[in-house]
Each structure stands twice: as C-alpha cells, then as structure tokens.
Amino acid sequence: MDHNSDSLADLTPRPKPHVDRCICHEVPFQDILDWAADRGETTLADIEDQWGCGGSCGMCRPYLKQVLETGESRIPLMIEAS
Ligand code: FES
C-alpha cells in the first residue's frame, strides 16, 4: 500500500456538503424561493401547505427556515451534536 498517496488524498479539500431540496417531496429550494418571491411574507406553514415540504419527515424544516432568512437555495449541511 502506498501511504504517501493516501496522505496526499487526505489533505485534498473536499467540497462541503449542502442541502438544496426537500427530499421527501423532491422540491428544490430554488423553486420555493421563486414561488415565495411573488408573495408577501412566506412562512414554513405556507410552504408546507403549498408544497408539502416540512410535513413529512421534517428534516428540511431547519433548512427551509434558513432559505427564507437568507434567500439562498443551498444551505450547508447541519450536523446536530449530541
Ligand atoms: S425532507 Fe422535506 S419533509 Fe422530508
């Protein structure tokens, strides 16, 4: 085994994982932003009513909150420390 190449591979920066959609409903966050742009204020409840997002497993809810707060459609992966 070539340990030198393994060490170099470990030093190569890896892209940071992002979340860009509700997996359960297969809805990209950009689609939600585009829809929300034509509205007044949009809440998580509005998104759930319209798209279903956040109402199934709920894992996208903190990301949707960030999407609404930042206007960004790609949110860095949130890892809960326990
Ligand atoms: S990922 Fe959005 S409800 Fe499950």
Residue listed under structure tokens 């809960």:
80
Q: Quote the pLDDT of residue 28.
A: 98
**Residue 42 falls within a domain, yes or no?**
yes
Domain count, the chain: 1
What does the DSSP 8-state code read for residue 22? E
**Residue 60 falls within a domain, yes or no?**
yes
CATH number at residue 46: 1.10.10
Question: Range of 72's domain?
Answer: 18-76
Query: Averaged over 49-77, what is the pLDDT?
Result: 97
Q: Note the pTM of the prediction, 2 decimals.
A: 0.81
CA of 29 to the centre of ligand 1 (A): 11
* pLDDT classification of 11: cutoffs 50, 70, 90: confident
Q: Which of 70, 51, 72, 54 is nearest to 62 (CA)?
A: 54
Query: Averaged over 26-30, what is the pLDDT?
Result: 98
Question: Distance between CA atoms of 73 and 20, rounded to whole angstroms?
Answer: 6
**CB of residue 20 inside a 6 A radius of ligand 1:** no
- Residue 9, pLDDT > 80, answer no
**CB of residue 53 inside a 6 A radius of ligand 1:** yes
